[in-house]
Amino acid sequence: MASKKASNKRQRGAQKSCSNVFSMFEQSQIQEFKEAFGCIDQDRDGVIKKQDLKETYGQLGKLNVDDEELEGMLNEGKGPINFTVFLSLFGEKLNGTDPEDTILGAFKLFDPNGTGFVNKEEFKRLLMNQADKFTAEEVDQAFALAPIDPTGNIDYKSLCYIITHGDEKEES
C-alpha cells in the first residue's frame, strides 16, 4: 500500500514538473522552441541524439565537432532529450536571471531617495571600480538597453523589467 502511494506521488511530481516547464514560456516561445527542436532532431524520431547534433553542426558548417563536446551537451539532459527535456534545459538557462524584486532591491541601494532613477555617470563609475569591475565596453553594452532620461538618469524600474521580461522593441 505504501509503495502504491509513493508511486502515485512520484507520478504527480513528474506531471507537475512537466507542466511547470510549459508554464515558463508563452505559447509563441514554445512554438519557436518546437521549430528549433525539429531542426536539430534530424531523423525526426522525437529525441535528440549525438548523430542529430553532428548533422546539425555540419549544416552550420562546423564539420569537426569532438564527440566529447557532443556527449557533454547530451549529458545536460540527464537522459534522452525529448522536447520536454529540451524545453526545460532552455528554461534553466534562460531563467538564470534573478527575480525582478531582487534586482530592484539592488538598484534601490543606489537610490536612497526612492526616485526610481540612478545617475548614469555615478553608476558607471561604480560598475567600473567596485567588485566585479566592468570594462568600458561592458558598461556600454549594459547601458544600450537602459532607459536613460535627458538628464542622464537611468530608469532602473524599467531596466529591471527589460532584464527579466525582455525588451519589447527587440521582440517586435
Collect contacts of 145-153 with beta carbons under 8 A, ≥24 apart: 146/120, 148/120, 149/117, 152/119, 152/120, 152/121, 153/117, 153/118, 153/119, 153/120
Residue 46 has pLDDT above 80, yes or no: yes
- Give this prediction's pTM: 0.47
Q: Are 48 and 40 in contact (CB under 8 A)?
A: yes
**Mean pLDDT computed over 64-93:** 89
Residue 63 has pLDDT above 60, yes or no: yes
In this prediction, what percent of the chain has a pLDDT beyond 70?
80
Q: Best-predicted range by mean pLDDT among 14-23, 40-49, 69-78, 142-151?
A: 40-49
Identify the helix (H) or strand (E) that includes residue 41.
none
* pLDDT on residue 132: 79
**Beta-bridge partners for 118:** 154
pLDDT mean across residues, the chain: 81
Residue 8 has pLDDT above 90, yes or no: no
